[in-house]
Amino acid sequence: MRIGLLGTGNVARALASGWQAAGHEVVLGSRSPKEREGAAGLEGFVVVGLREAAGHGDVLVNATPGTASMDVLNEIGAAALGGKLLVDIGVGFTESMELSHPNYSLGEEIQAAFPDVAVVKTLATVDSVVMKDPGSLEEPGTIFLSGDDAAAKRTTRQLLGDLGWADASQLDLGGIRTARGQEHAAYLFMGVAEAIGAYGFSFKVVRPRAA
């Protein structure tokens, strides 16, 4: 599958590495591709402009900071994004470390702004290491999906599987409105990270015992 990742940071690099290893054709999109290609941490990756990354990908992945994501997507434009699956990972924080979407979600904002794009929110509750290597956990965690398009979620589940997320570890929360839960869990994530002194963990949904 052809995947265009928007961004060149830790998240984009981790996912690009995982999906390249699984045999996908991956490029990373940047506003300054000539400056970024071959830079530290980007060796071995193809870095192109944002619109070129959008044109390359059957699937696009928003791996930009949540406060910058709408600017990036608007720069690419609705025409280039139309008909695509967009896997959205972004969570936005203000300079004072408040959520930039306190009463809704970035995923919802993207879906409302680009109705011809199938947005699926996922991977927003783990750090970049666990995203691409769930096997680094002591036991399987739970990864969540939110989105309105069933076919887009099926493709996203396959891509998560290629990173090592077993089908049983993937929990479909429902429509894109449920992306709020994933993004707002960032506060809980930061609290847990501080409590255990590490970021390489995952939440896990433990079901009740059968009656």
The CATH number given to 2-196 is 3.40.50.720
What are the residue ranges spanned by the domains of the chain? 2-196
Is the model's pLDDT at 176 over the cut of 90? Answer: yes
- pLDDT value of position 197: 97
Q: Which of 20, 173, 189, 193 is nearest to 108 (CA)?
A: 173
Mean pLDDT of the chain, nearest integer: 95
- Cα 205 from Cα 154, distance rounded (Å): 20
pLDDT tens digits, residue range 97-110? 999 999 999 999 99
Residue 64 neighbours by CB distance under 10 Å:
28
**Beta bridge partner(s), residue 2:** 25
Residue 201 neighbours by CB distance under 10 Å:
19
Of the pLDDT bands very low, low, confident and very high (cuts 50, 70, 90), residue 37 is low
- pLDDT value of position 140: 96
- pLDDT value of position 147: 98
- pLDDT value of position 36: 72
Token pair in block for residue 207? 């079901």
pLDDT tens digits, residue range 135-173? 999 999 999 999 999 999 999 999 999 999 999 999 999
- pLDDT value of position 33: 82
- pLDDT value of position 42: 84
3-class SS string, the chain:
CEEEEECCCHHHHHHHHHHHHCCCEEEEEECCHHHHCCCCCCCCCCEEEHHHHHHHCCEEEECCCCCCHHHHHHHHCHHHHCCCEEEECCCCECCCCCECCCCCCHHHHHHHHCCCCEEEEECCCCCHHHHHCHHHCCCCCCEEEEECCHHHHHHHHHHHHHHCCCHHHEEEEECHHHHHHHHHCHHHHHHHHHHHCCCCCCCCCCCCCCC
End-to-end CA separation in angstroms for the chain: 43
Which pTM does this prediction carry?
0.95
pLDDT tens digits, residue range 38-76? 677 788 889 999 999 999 989 999 999 999 999 999 999
pLDDT tens digits, residue range 188-211? 999 999 999 999 999 999 999 987
Of the pLDDT bands very low, low, confident and very high (cuts 50, 70, 90), residue 3 is very high
